[in-house]
Amino acid sequence: MIIRTLFWILLTLFALLGMGLTSAYLYLNPQIPEIQTFTNINLKAPLKIYSQDQKLIQEYGERLLPITYNKIPKTFINALLDTEDKRFFVHGGIDLVTLANATWQLLINAGEIKTGASTITMQLVKNISGASEIRFIRKFKEMLLAIKLEQALTKQEILTLYLNVIPFGKHAYGIQAAANTYYGKNVDQLSLPQLAMLAGIPKAPEAGNPINGPVRALERRNLILNRMFEQGSINKVSHRRAVQAPITAKVHDRRID
């Protein structure tokens, strides 16, 4: 009797959820921007002022150095996906497993979600759109746009766009600009602990970068290294050496904040 009652309660909840999502889709879909807004991003470089001997004096505008997919180290992609979106290459913009887990947490933790459900595609949409609506409405729009974006672009194109526009703090946007800003190198010249450090910054670009928040950044870096080890992306020796590595980041640009 109890099992039957629980079954009908769950069935009713799922039916109501389905009706709610359908209504939300019909209401919000006309408000979604054209997908071309997201596929035709102009990756602008900052204005650079040089001296007569061609030395960089100052930069105006955000620091952004576009990079192609084949120039992004596989190690960095693993660091990012092992932590943020391990099913990136198989889902269609929404990870139903993590979404279900987040929904369950919402129900049992009195409205508190301890782990996010946003995929890389959804994070890309959020960073580009900069929407500021009520959280539920914004999340639902992100889901709709993520699905459309997955249909318009390949996984490699989505990942490349994401890694060219996300903020890394210190006026750096994109992984190449971040590598240049914090280490004075191209991203393909960085070590494992340096790549893991960069992979952790987008979660909190200002408070969590290794300059403004070294303790927080180090904790995040080591969490990412742990995830990489758990997922088999790095071996035990590489993991041990990387978590013991000191912070080597420092600001290399000449911007006066």
CB of 150 within 8 A of CB of 143? no
Distance CA 171, CA 41 (A): 18
CB of 254 within 8 A of CB of 57? yes
Residue 88 has pLDDT above 60, yes or no: yes
How is the chain split into domains, by residue range?
Answer: 33-38+67-80+87-165, 167-257
Residue 60 banded pLDDT, cuts 50, 70, 90: very low
The amino acid sitting at 130 is G
Residue 49 has pLDDT above 80, yes or no: no
Of residues 225, 170, 211, 234, the one with CA closest to residue 178: 170
DSSP string, 51-106: -TTS-EEEEES-EE----GGGS-HHHHHHHHHHH-TTTTTSSSS-HHHHHHHHHHH
At residue 256, the pLDDT reads: 36
Residue 52 banded pLDDT, cuts 50, 70, 90: very low
**Mean pLDDT across 30-44:** 60
The amino acid sitting at 102 is A
Of residues 206, 188, 234, 208, the one with CA closest to residue 79: 234
Asked whether the domain spanning 167-257 has the same topology as the one spanning 33-38+67-80+87-165, the reply is yes
At residue 57, the pLDDT reads: 46
Residue 144 banded pLDDT, cuts 50, 70, 90: confident
At residue 198, the pLDDT reads: 98
Residue with tokens 């009797």: 1
CATH of domain 167-257: 1.10.3810.10
| 92-126 tens-digit pLDDT | 988 887 676 666 665 565 555 555 668 999 999 88
Distance CA 163, CA 201 (A): 12
At residue 5, the pLDDT reads: 74
Kindly state the tokens that stand for 210: 């290794």
CATH of domain 33-38+67-80+87-165: 1.10.3810.10
Beta bridge partners, 173, equal 64, 167
At residue 254, the pLDDT reads: 47
